[in-house]
Every structure is written in structure tokens, then in C-alpha cells.
Structure 1
Amino acid sequence: MARATVVVGYDDAELLDIACITSTLAAARDVGADPAYTVTLLTPGGRTMTCRPGLQLAAHGALEQHTGAVDTLVVAGGFGAERAAADPVLLAHVRRLARDARRVASVCTGAHVLAAAGLLDGRRATTHWVFAADLARAYPAVDVDPDPIFVRDGRIATSAGVTSALDLALSFVDEDHGPVIVRRVARALVTYLQRPGTQAQMSVHVAAPAPADDVVRRAVDHVAGHLDADLGAAALADHAGVSERHLARLFRSHLGRTPAEHVRRARTEAAAALVATSDVPLARVAARCGFRSTETMRTAFLEVYGRTPSEHRRAFVTAP
């Protein structure tokens, strides 16, 4: 029997939130997943959705009229999520479908809908980092973690912004069909196999540029270009031309972390990129990125990614 997946949409939902789920599950069917997935897009009243930037997306049916078993229920995110979360009819039917579903998930601000439905109470959850504080304030019973790209808490999953839905959907395929099928799907979608849910939303390599503060910028640029150098507090402060105490104060003010925390994260992110995209031995990766030993690097990986460097590398190996 096919695995019935229902995606809940509404006006001003994010098209990419929907497409990352539906296209990934369709690709699984195309590469031989058995049982395959069926995907049904439902909206209130079965109305056509208006997605950004004004694109029209037709629904398969009305949310309130859907009956039958649901294996996985996914609520899309988007700027219309708060209006959707205030719709008592929509919430009632999300609760109804979630009641017997094997898995329930949200993408991005779709977490607001699950929270409003009471499905996240007492659970750890995530959403796009921009909206995490709003979610935490509005729903204090939810343990909001703004860092991971997705979180699984029992049968409930929540994911961060937009393309993290692809990683979440790949995790579903992996859970249901194993590594061979999920690797085929990743190849079909021309994407990395799967980022772990514990990966941070805001990698230091894609985060916003350092603030305009000259001292912080010089220090951050020095770290990025000299990962294998002495980046201790004294050396970094000397390079920046300020005292250790002043540098620490500036880092907390402009980056929200200490110089040591920034250095450790920068080294870990750089090592992760090298591990995922090359066959450089781990000892050389550790040395190149400034770790004292492979064990030190291993500890850093476990803290940031929840897995070892070897496990991280295996996750990015292309299937034969």
C-alpha cells in the first residue's frame, strides 16, 4: 500500500516549502521506492493558493473533506502561516488528520500552525531562525531551538526555512527505504545526500558578513584565513590591536559569542566542508583546520553536527 502524504497549504504559503517535500517524495517513487508515496495537496475549501511571488497553485482537494488514512502530514510554511494559525477550522482539521498519522511535520513557519493546534506542546521544535523568537514568545509551551535545520521529537518533525524541507524529506525516505533509495533520490535531485538535522541553520560560511566594526572584521577575517595558526585569545587580540578583554566584549556585542567560540565554530565548519567534499585523511583535515588532534575535531563535530567526522563523510559519499 502506498504511503499517503498530505501537504497542507494556504494563501501566501511558500512554494519552495511545498515543492521540496512533494518533489523529493515523487523522486523516491521514480527511483524504485516500494511502497511508493502518494502526495495530496489540500487547502481550506480546496481553493487555489496564491504563493509568492503571485504564482497560482491548484490544490488536489479540500482539507475539511479529506478522509482516509494519512501516513505523513506536512504543514507548509510561508508568510500566511500566522493567518492560518488563527483559522479554527484549519486547525481543527490539522488536529483531525494528525491524530492517526504516523508522522506529522512542518516546514519553516508551518510550525506556528502545529503549535496553535497544540501539537508541539512539551516538544522541542525549530523554525526559520528569523521567526524562532516569535514562535517561542507566542507558544511558551514549545521548546524552540533556532539552530538545527530540522528536529525530530517522537513522531513530530519541524524544519527550518525553505530548502531544509528537502533535508527533512530525505530523512523520511531514508527512514522508510534505507540508504540505497535515499542516495538514488539525492542523485536524481542533484543534491548532497542529506544534511543532518543537527547542522546549524547559520553556517559561518553563509552567515551575514561581520559587522562594520573594524576590529571585529579584522579578527574574523584573520581567523578565516589562518585556521591552522595560533588563534588563542592573546594572539587574536594582538593581531586586532586591542586587549583580550576588549576583544571579548566586541565579539559578544557584534557576534553574540566569544572569540574562542567563534574560532572553534569556524574550524569545525571548515573541517566539515573538507570532510564532505574530499578524501583528505582526517588527521590532515584536523591539522589543516587548526585542531590539535583528530579527537579534538571529533568532539567538535559531535557538538555541532551530532555525529563524528567519519559518519559525516559517509553521509556525503555518492551512491554507486
Structure 2
Amino acid sequence: MHRIVLAVYPGFELLDASGPVSVFNGANRALEQSGGQPFYRIELASAQGGLVTSSSGVAVDTGPLGGLASGSVDTLLVVGAEREPLVQAMAEPRLRESLARLAGSAQRFGSICTGAFVLAALGLLEGRRVATHWDACAPFAAAFPSVRLDADALYVTDGPLWTSAGVTTGIDMALAMLAHDLGATITGPVAKRLVLYARRPGHQSQFSPLLQAQANADSPLADLIAWIQTHLDAPLDVCALAARAGLSERTFHRRFVAATGQTPARFVEMARLDAARMLLSRGLSLKSVAAQVGLFPATRLSEAFERRFGVTPRLFRDMHADL
């Protein structure tokens, strides 16, 4: 069995651990239901072992990291936390010694969310490309300038090193690990079992323009922004959007820019291109993607996509489909 150990410490973020655990356990369940054997052995471990309390007050039972022999762990992942528990974890001698030893012998190691700080403090990320929570990117870059931080990605792989951005992106990374270990066919049922809206590839931005806009906008604009996401193939010019919001075109334009920091036209194009990137990563044809996101014909999609991302949609699909 493939042994996965998630390293936790007092004050850790519970979802950083429980999300990936649910993915790997879901894979075992799917394998058993199809007549196979479980593939993953999942464990939580800490410096001292025993009960460890998360930031939410929920305590989990752990084994001692020091009791794990070098080479006995296939995948080692360090979970994240807020600043104070993270600082304490980075200074914990037993945690540091065990993580450095186990990471050096594991087939795959990495972090979820701000767990990257712990690995970086051990010198394990020097010169490597990594991801972490968007809110921690500035302090991370200042503290570890020799680490190549990708501030936008959901998760990043660099050889045996896997790192994810904030919280729920640990689920996305775990699904990618699952696809790497067992093939893409099993990840779909697991994601469906977890009732995920979509499987997100690592290259997708952790900054959602729709989510950011909804957070800043009030009704009726918040409702309109949500509607845009599900009607990208509809006419989305200022006239149509203003009418749907029940505002004059001039008032709508002013309030939309104030809420989102973007003109309606720019915002709609960004939303369409983000959706196009997701569809292309699934291997769909350019013609189909163009029609679904409202950038038809395909030449219009190609021009807008290359202008924003610096690569043609066809090349992007070839590079990322089924990854």
C-alpha cells in the first residue's frame, strides 16, 4: 500500500488535513466497490503523537513522527495554519528533525496551504517552484527569496515536490495525486462522491474574478455576477446587463466599475476566458469551447485567449488536457 502521512501540529487548519484525507479514502472506497484492494494507507502524525487540537477546536489522534522510519513513508504532506501556530511549528525541534528526515526519503513530499513555510524553513524548497495561500504570498516571498513562488496557481508540482495554495486547493492537489497514482478514470467518481463543482487543474488561478467581484458587490450586482457565470454564451453587453440589473446603462456602468474594478466588457471577457481555460483542460474542441463561453467563432476565442495568456488555446489544450 502507498503510505500517506499528513503532519499536523497544534492550531493546524482542519480542512487542510481532512480534505485530502477524504480524497484518498474515497479512492480506497471506490477501489473496494469495484472489487479491488485499497491502495492508500492514510495516517496523521505530529511531533509528539497523541491528540492534537486544530484551530477550530477539533482534536485528532496522531502517531509520533519520530517513530516513522526513513523510507517508510511514500507521501509526506505538511498542513497549514495561521501565523502563530505556524511560527511555533517552524521552531519545534522534533517536528523539524522528523520532517527533514522523512521528506528526504519519501517518494513524494509537499505541503498544503501555508505548510510550505515549514518546509521552506528547513531549506527543502531552495530553488524550487511552489504555491501557498494567496494571503501568505508576500510574507513568504520576503522570508524565502530563493524559493520560486507561483502566487497564482492552485497547486504546483516540481519533481517529487507538491505544494498547494489555500485550504480547499489541497483537495484539488490530492485529486491530481490520485490521477497520477491510479489513472484519471478513478478521479471522476471520487470527485463526484465529494460533490465537487469541478476538478480544477493546478494552472487555474486561485484568484476568481467572479468570487472577488461578488464579495465587493451588493445586490442586485452580486446576483447579476453569479448569473453571468452560468450564461456566458448569452449576449452580455452593457445594454443587456443593465436591463437585467434594473438600472440605466450609465448608472450600471458606474456601479459595476466601482464594485469590480473592471468595466463590464473587460469583466465579461475575463470570465469567459477563465471558463474557456477550464473547458480546454478537459480536452474539448475549440469550436465547442468558443460556443459555450460566448467567444464564437473560434478565431475570436483564439485572439482573446492568446492576448491574455500568451499562448494559443490549441497549444494550451495540448499541454494541459487530461492532466
For the superposition of Structure 1 and Structure 2, which TM-score range results when normalised by the shorter chain? 0.7 to 0.9
Q: Tell me the equivalent position of 1:308.
A: 317
Q: Describe the shift of the 1:86–1:293 C-alpha distance in structure 2 as closer, same or farther (beyond 3 A).
A: farther
* 8 A Cα contact 2:232 2:272, kept in partner: no
Q: 1:183 to 1:142 in 2, by over 3 A?
A: same
Map Cα deviations across residues 270-305 of structure 1 (whole Å, 9 max, x no partner).
44678899xx98536525644353245357289399
CA distance in 2, matches of 1:87, 1:197: 31
Q: Is the 8 A contact 1:282 1:309 kept in 2?
A: no
2:79 to 76, 100, 103: 76
> Pick from 44, 48, 66: which aligns with 1:64?
66
Cα distance in 1 for residues equivalent to 2:29 and 2:61 = 23
Q: Is the 8 A contact 2:29 2:38 kept in 1?
A: no
Deviates more, 1:32-41 or 1:21-30: 32-41
Percentage of identical aligned residues? 35
- 1:169 pairs with 2:174: yes
Provide the C-alpha distance between the structure 2 equivalents of 1:129 and 1:62, rounded to a whole number of angstroms: 31
**How many angstroms apart in 1 are the aligned matches of 2:272 and 2:23?**
32
Q: Does residue 30 of structure 2 align to residue 31 of structure 1?
A: yes
1:50 aligned to 2:53?
Answer: yes
Distance of 2:236 and 2:198 partners within structure 1: 35
* C-alpha distance after superposition, 1:12-41 (max 9, x if no partner): 101111011212111111211656111121
Equivalent residue number for residue 244 of structure 2: none
In the alignment, the residues of structure 2 paired with residue 174 and residue 308 of structure 1 have an alpha-carbon distance, to the nearest angstrom, of 18
Distance 1:169 1:274, change over 3 A: closer
Pair 41,274 (structure 1): closer, same or farther in 2 beyond 3 Å: closer
CA distance in 2, matches of 1:124, 1:310: 18
Matches within 5 A, 1:1-320: 2-32=1-31, 36-59=39-62, 61-69=63-71, 70-79=73-82, 80-192=85-197, 194-209=199-214, 262-271=267-276, 283=287, 285-287=289-291, 289-291=293-295, 293-297=297-301, 300=305, 303=309, 307-308=316-317
CA distance in structure 1 between the partners assigned to 2:146 and 2:261 by the alignment: 26
Instruction: Kindly report structure 1 stretches of 4+ aligned residues shifted beyond 3 Å.
Output: 208-212, 223-232, 253-264, 270-277, 280-285, 287-290, 301-307, 309-312
Structure 1: give runs of 5+ residues left out of the alignment. Answer: 233-238, 242-246, 316-320
Cα 1:153/1:226, change in 2 over 3 Å: closer
TM-score by length of 2: 0.75
3-state SS of 2:44 partner? strand
Secondary structure of the equivalent of 1:174? helix
Distance 1:47 1:4 in 2: 19
| CA positional deviation for 1:52 | 2.5
Letter in 2 for 1:158: T
Q: Is the 8 A contact 2:213 2:259 kept in 1?
A: no
Query: Distance in 1 between the 2:178 and 2:236 partners?
Result: 43
Say if 1:228 and 1:288, in contact at 8 Å, map to a contact too.
no
* Alpha-carbon distance in structure 2 between the residues aligned to 1:292 and 1:201: 27
Distance 2:26 2:215 in 1: 39
The answer for the alignment partner of 2:245 in structure 1 is none
1:66 counterpart letter in structure 2: L
Would you say how many aligned residue pairs link Structure 1 and Structure 2? Answer: 296
Q: Give SS of 1:58's match.
A: strand
Question: Which amino acid in the other structure matches residue 62 of structure 1?
Answer: P
RMSD: 4.1
Q: TM-score, normalised by structure 1?
A: 0.76
Between the aligned partners of 1:155 and 1:276, the Cα distance in structure 2 is 23
Q: 1:135 to 1:260 in 2, by over 3 A?
A: farther
Identify if the C-alpha distance between structure 1 residues 269 and 38 changes in structure 2 by more than 3 Å, giving closer, same or farther: same
Structure 2: tracts of 5 or more residues without a match: 239-248
